[in-house]
Amino acid sequence: MIHHHFLQSDHFLGPVVEASFSRATVLCQLRLDFQDIGIVKGSFAVMLRHQDIHGKFEATLGAPLASSVNLDSFILLRLLEVLPLPESDTRLGQRCDKLMADAPDMAASALNHCLVQYDVLGAFVMDSGSGLARFAGDPGALGAIEQYCVFVPPPPLLDILTNGVVNPLQRIHFGELRTSETQSSQRHAQKILLSMLDIRGKRTAVFGKTRLGKSNAVKLVVQGMLDVTHESQNVGQLIFDVNGEYANDNPQDGNQSIASIYQDRCLVYHLSPRGGNEHGRLLRFNFYEQSDKALSILRELLPPVMAESDYVQPLLNCRVPALVRLPDETDEQVSRRVRKIMLLWTLLDIAGFDFNQDKLTEVLTGLGIRQPFNPQLPQALRNNVYQSILHKPTPPAPNNFRDMVTEMTGVARFMLDYENDPALVRKDEPLFDLDEKVMARFLNPKSSAGPYVLRSCLPFHSCEGDNFMTEVLAALETGKTAIIDLGSASEQIVRYFSRTLSTAVFQTQEAKFVSNTLHGRFVQIYFEEAHMIFPQSTGPVTDIYSRFAKEGAKFNIGIAYSTQSPSTVNKDLLGQTENFFIGHLSSRTETELLSSVQHAFRGLEDEIMHWRTPGLMRVLTYSHRYPLPVQVARFTGQSLLAG
């Protein structure tokens, strides 16, 4: 509850001389002690009702008795401008002259007075039972001007207007209120709290020019989620770390990182080997074991000019089966499918992709294949291949990977040179389908470099690799934070990994929703440099990021995206965003776009363009009804939990 003794006369600004539902004008007597509380553009003030012991209202330049002020409700104001005193022949001027004439100290001349104009943000109403405040977006019924006076909010009122509407659960310390660049700290530092329930399952935008604190703010949100879910571990987090600063210790964060501070709850994948990260894993595909996905992955990883070339595109359009045994499938059918996979393996081997024979043997025997590397080719065909292509006697059937590659290489050449040979037909059906013929041509080019054109994808392959996507999804399910270190990766690679993993997360959460097994478990996804991942689109958007915007909340998926400019972001996503952390934007086009999608920022465009202090942001979360100017705390790794 707010008590009258909190109101001090040195916090009194002056009487209200003009008011409407959207503006309030105050006659303010400038005083020496204002250097402490200040009249600062954008600062907050509270408009209170007061009356004397006889129930009458009387406006005065002096502070009213604290006991005469009604603290059951107050109107919240934000300073817009300081105005000169009006001419005496106007109604407003006559009112101001009378107030100054009635002042006990006439030495306080008009030179020491000014009009201060405020924007009316709404009203706080105190609940007498709980003592909690409820905010309304309008001031309610306005009474006579004489009954209103304005105060700089004392600490208890300041705490209500900054934190009073924030969800009381799962709160963290996020920074301090800072209403001006010139004030590094206020007389009474007001801590700003965030509720992680406002972030969980919702959309969060972080905008601002580079090196002004975007990543620091996101790190606090990531850390806050880890802190508040320490026991429940019901929120998994996925971070696309474009600059490598979440996965790797760096000097700007005191030679520490999210990954090192929360090592037991983080799973880190690196695109490139990095020293000092012995717990990290390399972000690699095993193209041999992911046979059905290998060509589609290669399509994404290859330079576009190569993937779309007349030589490579037919290969990437081939369909290769998965390394699985289908129900009721005969041994002959399994052998037929595996032979097609072996042709792909041959292509990969010649391109330079290393293999692990023991792992492949284990996979093949798991399918019930007793001779793992035997393509099961008809003997007549084998004899023709070794005689006319390989020019040596026909050996026993291959029993290792290398001999299998030799035989499949010869077969590929044979089916091109002797396409009408009877040995290529079995039971009146061609032994090899069109896809296999395309792969054979790729293995035996007439003028190009052949399989060597795929070598640009070698850094993304490991014969020891497992299915990292399965690992990431499992980590998210258990409340861990998966960090995908994409430092130094091209935009093409960043887009591929972010889209692929985002799609997998969405499909997993959607399946849980359909089967009613979400059980209160959430996934938060963080996109650094969002303009690289989901650029602006003017037409209808149906990609995964648009689905996040429209359906993510239903499936317990929240996202946070940071970039320099609102205009570079998909408009579907921007229009559905609930939380905003806004640093310096230099363009009026950007600030007007921001205020057009989130009306709460209207009127703050100039401050957003002029402020350039690192870490100084306008913060608007799902709980807040108006933005707060916040000096965001530095990420140090210390617990952020609010008591």
Query: What distance in Å separates the CA atoms of residue 552 and residue 534, rounded to the nearest whole number?
Result: 16
Q: Which of 337, 334, 313 is nearest to 441 (CA)?
A: 313
Q: Residue 142 phi/psi, 5° resolution?
A: -90, 140
Q: 275-279, 345-349, 506-510: which has the minimum mean pLDDT? A: 275-279
Regarding whether 250 and 311 lie in a shared domain, the answer is: no
Distances in whole angstroms, Cα of residue 189 to Cα of each of 78, 176, 205, 250: 18, 7, 26, 29
**The pLDDT value given to residue 38:** 62
**The pLDDT value given to residue 280:** 83
Flag whether pLDDT at 172 surpasses 60. yes
% of the chain at pLDDT higher than 90? 67
User: Considering the domain boundaries, does residue 496 fall inside one?
Assistant: yes
Query: What distance in Å separates the CA atoms of residue 494 and residue 502, rounded to the nearest whole number?
Result: 12
Regarding whether 425 and 315 lie in a shared domain, the answer is: yes
**The pLDDT value given to residue 572:** 74
**The pLDDT value given to residue 5:** 63
- Neighbouring CB atoms inside 10 A of 431's CB total 18
At 531, is the pLDDT very low, low, confident or very high (cuts 50, 70, 90)?
confident
Mean pLDDT of 521-548: 80
Q: 254-268, 447-461, 624-638: which has the minimum mean pLDDT? A: 447-461
Flag whether pLDDT at 33 surpasses 80. no
**Total domains present in the chain:** 3
User: Considering the domain boundaries, does residue 58 fall inside one?
Assistant: yes
% of the chain at pLDDT higher than 70? 92
Q: Which of 605, 636, 604, 600 is nearest to 621 (CA)?
A: 600
Query: What distance in Å separates the CA atoms of residue 64 and residue 81, rounded to the nearest whole number?
Result: 24
Round the average pLDDT of the chain to a whole number and report it: 89
Query: What distance in Å separates the CA atoms of residue 346 and residue 365, rounded to the nearest whole number?
Result: 19
Please, where are the H alpha helices in 598-643? 605-610
Query: What distance in Å separates the CA atoms of residue 125 and residue 113, rounded to the nearest whole number?
Result: 31
**The pLDDT value given to residue 533:** 82
Between strands 235-241 and 522-527, the pairing is parallel
Last residue of a domain, one of 577, 611, 628: 577
Half-sphere exposure of 306 (CA within 13 A, CB side): 16
**The pLDDT value given to residue 216:** 96
Regarding whether 228 and 268 lie in a shared domain, the answer is: yes
Instruction: Classify residue 446 as exposed, middle or buried by CB count within 10 Å of its CB (0-12, 13-18, 19+).
Output: exposed
- Neighbouring CB atoms inside 10 A of 555's CB total 22
Contact predicate 173/142, CB 8 Å:
no
Q: 292-296, 413-417, 542-546, 586-590: which has the minimum mean pLDDT? A: 542-546
Regarding whether 487 and 396 lie in a shared domain, the answer is: no
- Per-residue pLDDT reduced to its tens digit, 250-283: 888 888 999 999 999 999 999 887 655 667 888 8
Regarding whether 296 and 276 lie in a shared domain, the answer is: no
Regarding whether 384 and 308 lie in a shared domain, the answer is: yes
Flag whether pLDDT at 538 surpasses 60. no
Between 154 and 410, name the one with better pLDDT: 410
Q: Which of 274, 244, 272, 277 is nearest to 260 (CA)?
A: 277
Regarding whether 296 and 279 lie in a shared domain, the answer is: no
Global pTM?
Answer: 0.90
Mean pLDDT of 478-507: 93
Regarding whether 544 and 454 lie in a shared domain, the answer is: no
Contact predicate 166/623, CB 8 Å:
yes
Tokens for 23, please give them.
Answer: 């503006």
Contact predicate 146/57, CB 8 Å:
yes
**The pLDDT value given to residue 55:** 55
Q: Which of 519, 126, 453 is nearest to 310 (CA)?
A: 453
Long-range contacts at 445-452 (CB < 8 A, ≥ 24 apart): 445/311, 448/311, 450/350, 451/347, 451/348, 451/350, 451/351, 452/351, 452/352
**The pLDDT value given to residue 541:** 52
Q: What is the domain range of residue 40?
A: 4-169
Regarding whether 442 and 483 lie in a shared domain, the answer is: no
Regarding whether 299 and 276 lie in a shared domain, the answer is: no
User: Considering the domain boundaries, does residue 591 fall inside one?
Assistant: no
Q: 């001031």: which residue's tokens?
A: 139
Tokens for 323, please give them.
Answer: 């390394």
- Per-residue pLDDT reduced to its tens digit, 595-626: 999 999 999 999 999 999 999 999 999 999 99
User: Considering the domain boundaries, does residue 118 fall inside one?
Assistant: yes
**The pLDDT value given to residue 4:** 65
- Neighbouring CB atoms inside 10 A of 342's CB total 25
Flag whether pLDDT at 98 surpasses 90. no
User: Considering the domain boundaries, does residue 421 fall inside one?
Assistant: yes
Regarding whether 303 and 259 lie in a shared domain, the answer is: no
- Per-residue pLDDT reduced to its tens digit, 178-237: 998 887 555 668 999 999 999 999 999 999 998 899 999 999 999 999 999 999 999 999
Regarding whether 205 and 154 lie in a shared domain, the answer is: no
Mean pLDDT of 356-374: 94
Mean pLDDT of 89-114: 77
CATH number at residue 213: 3.40.50.300
Mean pLDDT of 25-49: 78
User: Considering the domain boundaries, does residue 276 fall inside one?
Assistant: yes
